Chain A
Amino acid sequence: MRVVADTQRCVGAGQCVLTDPTTFDQNDEDGTVVILRDEPQDPQTSARVREAVHLCPNQALSIVE
């Protein structure tokens, strides 16, 4: 699986960074999501990434299987 971000939808709430800081970061300028690693390397990270997708308030994250 791979996680994809739509920075035009992102509202910088930071939910993804709180959920998995190894995968997600925020741009200092406008707070939008920065993906550090788009392919989770282990099942725990995959689970956290799926949770981040669910928690994203504006559906800016999606998963490509």
Chain B
Amino acid sequence: MTSSMLPVVRTCPYQPPAEHVRLRESEPVARVTLPSGSSVWALSRLEDIRTMLTDPRFSSDRQHPGFPQFFSGQRPTGKFGRSLIGMDPPEHGPARRAVVGEFTVRRMAALRPRIQQIVDEHIDAMLAGPRPADLVQALSLPIPSLVICELLGVPYADHEFFQRYSGQLLSRTASTEQRTTAIVELRSYLQDLVARRQEAPGDDLISRQIAQATERGDRTADDVVNLGFLLLVAGHETTANMISLGVMTLLDHPAQLAAMVADQSITPLAVEELLRYFTIAEFATSRVAKENIEIGGVLIRAGEGVIALGTAANRDPAAFVNGDDLDLSRGARHHVAFGFGAHQCLGQNLARMELQIVFDTLFRRIPGLRLAGSVDALPFKDDAVVYGLYDLPVTWDAPAE
């Protein structure tokens, strides 16, 4: 058995790493070495990944020594505290059902008017500023951050504090110390918010979680803080990166963009296609085997780690016709961009709606929007666990004098 060093860098922004595609075609269950030096199994066919992610014998326990570690020094971060993403059955189901009621399709639709307002305000501010503008700073980062503020019930007066530290947490130029400070500040903010809501509940997720935890006696205030922090981190950077990559891709495919702008019923399909095409958080779907399990005819032994090469799998010819082509009207939702199985993204319907509103609003309000440079010259997050863009300079026509 060979063990190839697995590249995690995408050399073309629109394509999975060539080695991932080669594995899918010739060795769909492969032994690979991660940049951290640890050896794991890599799955690259959609069906194998679906099988793995729905099999409870594969564990999400991030503290397990066999759990895949991409970069050295990654573990143990303790950044999320104990949270949903690391739980297995039977603990996970009830814990997820305790919060997922906050993210139903109906609840997300009720947030739409407020999100629309947030998006409009940020586009106003961008238009009032200089050209070119960095879309990442103008829209991608602040919009998801404010939406999380609304959801958690962060008072308006604290938005600036919350945005400053969540921006610092995700900034490329921030030092390790600054990032650690951001984590400490945000956690301590959330602890304080939880304490305040214990005294005086409001109409928000944190207050409802506290009330439910008190009624059931199954969670502590610290669990609610951990949940808030998970929602902040998981919901912020991922959505921000999809806004940036989505806008870049749409501007780079003008004929398809024009068709979407002319018919807004295409937008939800376009969002789905962009999610499939980029699969920005594929490394979130790692597992460790608790028993010997056969996948795709290969035996994975108890204690061995498994990763899912979601970007390659989301182009699997067995699952998608001409999967390397971007087709905004494809409408395929069987991708694994949000993962699969019991841990499939909790906030997926919030992310879908944020992306739909941004794309619908941005191109309608600024029809002359364009990239202020070539796609090849853009700074992609080749070095990050979640793929995306550090900056996205855009420009537009000046309004008539």
**Which residues of A does B touch, CB under 8 Å?**
8-15, 17-19, 21, 26-32, 54-55, 57-59
Contact = CB atoms under 8 A, between A and B. Distances in A.
B101 A31 contact: yes
A31 B103 contact: yes
Contact of A30 (B53, B98, B345): B98
Interface in B81-124: 93, 96-98, 100-107
A53 B98 CA distance: 23
B344 A57 contact: yes
A17 B105 CA distance: 7
B284 to A, nearest CB: 14
Contacts of B334: 54-55
Interface of B: 53-54, 93, 96-98, 100-107, 333-334, 338-345, 348-349
A8 to B, nearest CB: 7
Given A55-B334, A57-B54, A59-B54, A12 B341 contact: no
The interface centre, meaning the residue of A12, A18, A26, A27 with most chain B CB atoms within 10 A of its CB, is: A12
Give the interface SS of chain B, mostly helix, strand, loop or mixed.
Answer: helix
A32 B106 CA distance: 12
A28 B54 contact: no
Contacts of B97: 10-12, 30-32
Contact of A27 (B101, B333, B340, B344): B101
A25 B28 CA distance: 37
A35 to B, nearest CB: 15
Contacts of B102: 31
Contact of A55 (B54, B100, B333): B333
Given A14-B349, A31-B100, A57-B344, 10 more contacts: A11-B342, A12-B104, A18-B333, A18-B349, A28-B104, A31-B101, A31-B102, A32-B97, A57-B342, A58-B341
Nearest to B97: A30
Give the interface SS of chain A, mostly helix, strand, loop or mixed.
Answer: loop
B285 to A, nearest CB: 11
Contacts of A32: 97
B17 to A, nearest CB: 26
B341 A57 contact: yes
A14 B105 contact: yes
11 contacts: A9-B93, A10-B97, A12-B100, A21-B105, A26-B105, A27-B104, A31-B97, A55-B333, A57-B54, A57-B342, A58-B341
B100 A11 contact: yes
Interchain residue pairs A-B with the least CB separation, the first 8: A12-B100, A31-B100, A57-B344, A30-B97, A26-B104, A17-B105, A31-B101, A14-B105
A11 B339 CA distance: 13
Given A14-B349, A18-B105, A19-B333, A30 B100 contact: yes
B84 to A, nearest CB: 10
Contacts of B53: 57
A12 B342 CA distance: 9
A8 B89 CA distance: 11
B101 A28 contact: yes
